[in-house]
Amino acid sequence: MNLDTLAKRLDLSCKCCWEKLNREVTGGYTGDLLSDVMANSKAGDIWVTRQVHKNVVAVAALKEHAAVVVVQGAEPDVDALEKATAEGIPIFTTNKSAFEITGLIHGLLREDKA
Amino acid sequence: MQLHEDERYLQGRYEVQGRDFVDAGLVSSLIKKALKDKGIDEDVIRRVAIVAFEAEVNIISYAESGTISLYLLPDSVVFEAKDVGPGIADIELALQEGYSTADDTIREMGFGAGMGLSNIKKSSDVFEISSEVGKGTCLRSVIRLDGGETPGEGDGR
């Protein structure tokens, strides 16, 4: 499933890199500890987090994540959005909790693979 | 610990400033790009990126400044980080997952979970670390280009 479809189905708000929304999402990872995400997430994952600072983009770019989803109605920092634009990492926001959006994303990806 | 001295294989040397969280990950991304340009295997790059990011963040979090050097040997990538800083009093303890001396500022950003050094060790085929309290810390990670041993089975110090 690509980012565009996933974002529309889950009503995610895209904050940057609209031109990258045809990118495929192959999996997902949820976490706020950057070392945990560095160690355990995979390329192509959509990363669900409550962190909003610029270092999130550094991790997402290093891991080649498909995109980042910032939860709980939080807004990414301005310099995070600038870096995300430069690195080509779309950032989405949602009012849902990490628990809820992770479950929904998981369901959609599983349905897509079935 | 003797640092690598064979400059023939040096791929890059990078300075890292302590407390400069704004640019955390910059050196790691330069290292990743350098290895990609050399056509290095994706799994090797993935492991080096983890080592580089954690070492970079450690320098930023705890040291005054540091130098990261990357060597590309015929059979391995050698990553070295040397910092000027407080050093580590008990390396065994620092290597335990979950142990951290990070302050609240560091933790609020999602760093300081006590996973950094163990992530580096798990991603390395050979891992060495030495430290002197009040002076600084040196670490070396060797990642073999042929895939090496199972990650996590690094031979320690």
Question: From the list B29, B46, B111, which residue is nearest A34 (CB)?
Answer: B111
Size of the A and B interface in Cβ pairs below 8 Å: 60
**Residue closest to A36 by CA, chosen among A48, A19, A44:** A48
Kindly indicate whether the ipTM for this predicted assembly is greater than 0.90, answering yes or no: yes
pLDDT higher than threshold 80 for residue B51: yes
Q: Does residue B36 form part of some domain?
A: yes
State pTM to two decimals: 0.93
- Please tell me whether residue B127 adopts helix, strand or coil conformation: strand
Question: From the list A36, A39, A58, which residue is nearest B29 (CB)?
Answer: A58
- Name the DSSP letter for residue A9: H
Q: Does B99 touch chain A if contact means CB atoms closer than 8 Å? A: no
- Which two tokens mark A51? 């962190």
pLDDT higher than threshold 90 for residue B44: yes
d(CA B77, CA B72): 5
Confidence of residue B156 (pLDDT cuts 50, 70, 90): very low
Q: Does residue B149 form part of some domain?
A: no
Residues from chain B that touch A35, judged by Cβ atoms under 8 A, are: 54, 57, 111, 113, 115-116, 119
The domain total for chain B is: 1
Arithmetic mean of pLDDT over chain B: 92
Q: Kindly determine whether residue B50 and residue A39, on different chains, have CB atoms separated by under 8 Å.
A: yes
The percentage of chain B sitting over the pLDDT mark of 90, rounded to a whole number, equals: 86
The percentage of chain A sitting over the pLDDT mark of 90, rounded to a whole number, equals: 98
Domain assignments of chain A as residue spans, ordered by start: 3-113
Q: Does residue B130 form part of some domain?
A: yes
pLDDT higher than threshold 60 for residue B154: no
Question: From the list B21, B49, B116, which residue is nearest A62 (CB)?
Answer: B49
Q: Does residue B126 form part of some domain?
A: yes
- So what's the pLDDT on residue B62? 96
Q: Does residue B157 form part of some domain?
A: no
Please state which of the ranges B9-13, B137-141, B147-151 shows the lowest mean pLDDT: B147-151
What are the tens digits of pLDDT across the range B62-82?
Answer: 999 999 999 999 999 999 999
B116: CATH: 3.30.565.10
- Sign of the torsion angle spanned by Cα atoms A82, B29, A45, B153: negative
User: What distance, in Å, lies between the first and last C-alpha atoms of chain B?
Assistant: 10
- So what's the pLDDT on residue B6? 74
Arithmetic mean of pLDDT over chain A: 97
For domain A3-113, the CATH architecture is 3-Layer(aba) Sandwich (3.40)
Question: How does A24-61 read in b/e, with b if 16+ C-beta sit within 10 Å?
Answer: ebeebbbbbbbbbbbbebeeebbbbbebbbbbbbbbbb
**Residue closest to A54 by CA, chosen among A28, A11, A22, A86:** A86
Residues from chain A that touch B45, judged by Cβ atoms under 8 A, are: none
Which structural domain range is residue B140 located in? 11-144
